Structure 1
Amino acid sequence: MSTVDFPTILEQAARSTDRPTKDVTISALLAAEKTTKRSGLVIPFSSLVGEWRLCFATGANKDKQRGGIRLGRGYYLPKFAPASISFTRDSQSEDCNTGTITNKLLVGTVRFQFTGPCRYPGQKNFLAFDFTELQFKLLGLTLYQGKIRSGKRLGKDFEQLRVAELPFFTFFWASPTSIAARGRGGGLALWVHD
């Protein structure tokens, strides 16, 4: 059985214009995830801090026959419609594994930005978060900026919420140039540091 050179493939997928096929990238992501789980590798929160552009993602569907999930085909995101995620540390907290998550999507002259708290307990490379603010801009002009809350989470502080109530990522790859994770819905994502 041959092993997948996932570090090289993931770096090529994140950085190169000569990208691997979608199937090769998915195989590399799965190999990285399996290797991280088997080795018990802990990715420090400091490896995630910064801004990361989403370059590849898969969806996931429930597979009723197998009793699990089935990954979607995957796709590379075009650079002309960038989506990014960023993590910053909470400098006022004694806990160095709490901070802020920001998710941005730019389509032409329209920008959506979701922001909220995140916590990274370090166990199993798990990052829980909650988007609590939305900003919507058109041509650089802010059309809306305000708080958002899910009806289920309304009235609870982020620290009091159980993980079962929150969206999350489980990270399994972190290099100086790219990070990768599986989301709560089962899909995989690869981001590149710009």
Structure 2
Amino acid sequence: MEDLITIETAANSIINNSTNKPSPDSVVSTLIQIEKQSKKQDKKYNIEQLSGNWQLCFITGTKKTRKRAGIVLGAGRYIPNWVKITLSYFSPLNTSETPEQIEIGRVENTVEFAGLKLSLSGPTKFIDKKNILAFDFTKITVKLLGVKLYSGYIRGGQESEDKFATESVGKQAFFAYFLIQEKFIAARGRGGGLAIWGKLAT
């Protein structure tokens, strides 16, 4: 329970612009502990639990090492208040062509700062046996002070989207979620880094 309070406090500090922030080191160690517990307990989540808008609150870097682990975590840090990074997950829209055990949805990742709003969007698929959400950004929208400057497919985006459902997750970007709560979530990315998001009010 104490571990969850640490993560919730970290997320709330960014969502509510609060100065009550647990130390980055304590947040990182707590995330690692929760991830271990999740694997040990073999927790299972579903894509519906991710639906909604989530603001990125905390991330860790990674650094390469020659040790067997290959990659180790770098320092953790809170996202500064001058930039807002939001993940929005939308409900799955499966078809008869969708492989079993895979739920296809949509994601939009938005970065806002200094009047500029950059949004990347594309398909997602959730592998429920592993709590892995793979994604591919295939479209981009750019706005400045509310005025749309560009919106369309990224180069090769249409082709990537067409083959996304059947392509191996090993070739795609993904998040492995080990903590999904009503107000906050945490995951490890393909590159090995950890991240926390807080739920935004709708």
1:13/1:154 CA distance change after superposition, 3 Å: closer
Q: Which runs of 5+ in 1 are unaligned?
A: none
TM-score (norm 1): 0.90
Q: Displacement of 1:68 after TM fit?
A: 2.1
What corresponds to 2:130 in structure 1?
124
CA–CA distance in 2 between the matches of 1:155 and 1:192? 28
Change (3 A) 1:100 1:154: closer
Matches within 5 A, 1:1-194: 5-16=2-13, 17=18, 18-91=20-93, 93=95, 97-149=103-155, 154=160, 157-194=163-200
- How many angstroms apart in 2 are the aligned matches of 1:46 and 1:59? 28
Q: Name the % identity.
A: 36
Deviations 1:4-56 (A, max 9, x none): 93111101111132110000000111111111000000012111111000000
Letter in 2 for 1:13: A
SS at match of 1:127: strand
CA distance in structure 2 between the partners assigned to 1:60 and 1:175 by the alignment: 25
Measure how far apart 1:79 and its partner are. 2.9
Q: Indicate the SS of the match to 1:36.
A: helix
1:74-127: CA deviation from partner (whole Å, max 9, x where unpaired): 110123310010110134647783210110000110011000000102011101
Q: How many residues are treated as equivalent by the alignment? A: 190
State the 1:65 CA deviation: 2.9
**Runs ≥4 in structure 1, deviation > 6 angstroms?**
none
Report the residue type matching 2:35 in the other structure. Answer: E
The alignment's TM-score, normalised by the length of structure 2, stands at 0.87
Structure 2 unaligned regions, length at least 5: none
Q: 1:48 to 1:155 in 2, by over 3 A?
A: closer
Work out the CA distance in 1 between the residues paired with 2:140 and 2:37. Answer: 36
| Contact kept? 1:171, 1:182, Cα under 8 Å | yes
Which AA in structure 2 matches 1:106?
E
Going from structure 1 to structure 2, the CA distance change for 1:155 and 1:92 (only over 3 Å counts) comes to closer
